[in-house]
Homo-oligomer: A and B are copies of this chain.
Amino acid sequence: MINIAVLGYGTVGSGVVKVIDINGEVIARNTGQEVNVKYILDLRDFPGDPFEYKIVRDFETVINDPEIKVMCEVIGGVGKAYEFTRRALEKGISVCTSNKELVAKHGAELLALARENNCSYLFEASVGGGIPIIRPIMEALTAERIESVSGILNGTTNYILTKMEREGADFAEVLKEAQAKGYAENNPAADIEGYDPCRKIAILSSLMMGKNVDSEKIYTEGITKVTAADFAYAKEAGYTIKLLGQSKAQGDEVLAMVAPFMISKDHPLAMVNDVFNGIFVTGNTVGDTMYYGRGAGKLPTASAVVADVIECAKNVGQTIPCFWDQEQVALADISQVEWKYFLRAKASAKADVEAAFPGGRVIAVEGCEDEFGYITEAIVEKDFAEKYEALSDSILSRIRLA
């Protein structure tokens, strides 16, 4: 039997306890031993909870119990979570987490600490919820030089965009509904401004490069400016709009960004709807691979945490290797990248737009005669920005094409 502690009894924490409870038999088979949740650390009361008797309030109880071999850090944030993780790893206790903020910010440092203390720091659940993505990158694609990673990394925004597309509704309206249903937080900035997918693409980029990619340096644009009208034009042109995290190895640099993109309806990511996530990983010999599943949610995320617990249980006393050094990777300058752009502009500016971006394609949508859609030829971001600036009074939207 292996004893573990769950730090934080919120959504994911209670999911971890539940997954271990309902799948105990399968886990025992796969681990060769039973996994026992000895402590649940939380400051709150949970009267009537079936696992109430396991709840402790003091981290010292947990850290000083030599029976504890693995901790699940599902507190979130970079305060107590960071402190507890460091203290556990320093004592040789492995830590499994879903905390993307902490992994993005201190992942390389915590991995080094785990190596020094012959234990492991695992974070499968920090990207893509229940989708196995960290492990395939680390193991199954281990014979590969990974060239790029991109995808739909945030379930809340994908839910909002899917609903906007299907119902022709505007952003604010759908956000309100998503908040009412609990799919979006009361303070939704982390999702809708793209901070959450930014942390995730930073983690994936770091694994791809084997070195640290600073999430704070990644160009990040959310979905707040995407409109129902944009979707109408996208549909007319055979596209949809998705919030993508993208990362591409360019020699020693990495080109990483988060932004809404128009993608062809034929692209496999166009099928990734609602709260689902889909992540493309391209290797130099395997080509494109994609991983799809529920990117969030109590049980899917908890399932990924528990898979990591099992991995730690099988490797007590040793470090599961993860190549993510503390050395910083330089970020490539996105102003030098070439894209096609979708523009929506006032009808009165049609001649100006066509002159500024020659060779593009006009898209007309019925009932929108006072404006028009336009897809430019490929143009360097910097050149586009200059021309866009000059026309900004007439341009209503601009979205890159992936």
Contact = CB atoms under 8 A, between A and B. Distances in A.
B311 A299 contact: no
B135 A140 contact: yes
Of the four ranges (under 10, 10 to 19, 20 to 34, 35 or more), the interface on chain A belongs to 35 or more
A27 interface: yes
Interface string A1-27: 000000000000001001110110011
A291 B27 CA distance: 23
Interface in A284-298: 284-294, 297
A323 interface: yes
Contact of A285 (B32, B136, B303, B311): B303
A175 to B, nearest CB: 24
A105 to B, nearest CB: 24
B140 A304 contact: yes
A94 to B, nearest CB: 15
Interface stretch (A38-46, A142-150, A181-189, A337-345): A142-150
A399 to B, nearest CB: 21
A222 interface: no
Given A143-B23, A271-B271, A289 B293 contact: yes
B310 A143 contact: yes
B290 A292 contact: yes
A161 to B, nearest CB: 16
B26 A307 contact: no
A121 to B, nearest CB: 17
B23 A307 contact: no
Given A27-B143, A272-B268, A286 B136 contact: no
Contact of A293 (B32, B288, B307): B288
Contacts of A270: 271
A145 B267 CA distance: 31
21 contacts: A23-B143, A27-B143, A29-B323, A30-B143, A31-B142, A132-B136, A132-B140, A139-B311, A143-B304, A143-B307, A144-B303, A144-B307, A266-B273, A285-B300, A286-B294, A286-B299, A286-B303, A287-B297, A288-B294, A290-B293, A292-B292
Sort A-B residue pairs by CB-CB distance and give the 10 closest, nearest first.
Answer: A132-B140, A143-B306, A289-B293, A290-B292, A130-B286, A285-B299, A286-B303, A132-B136, A30-B142, A271-B271
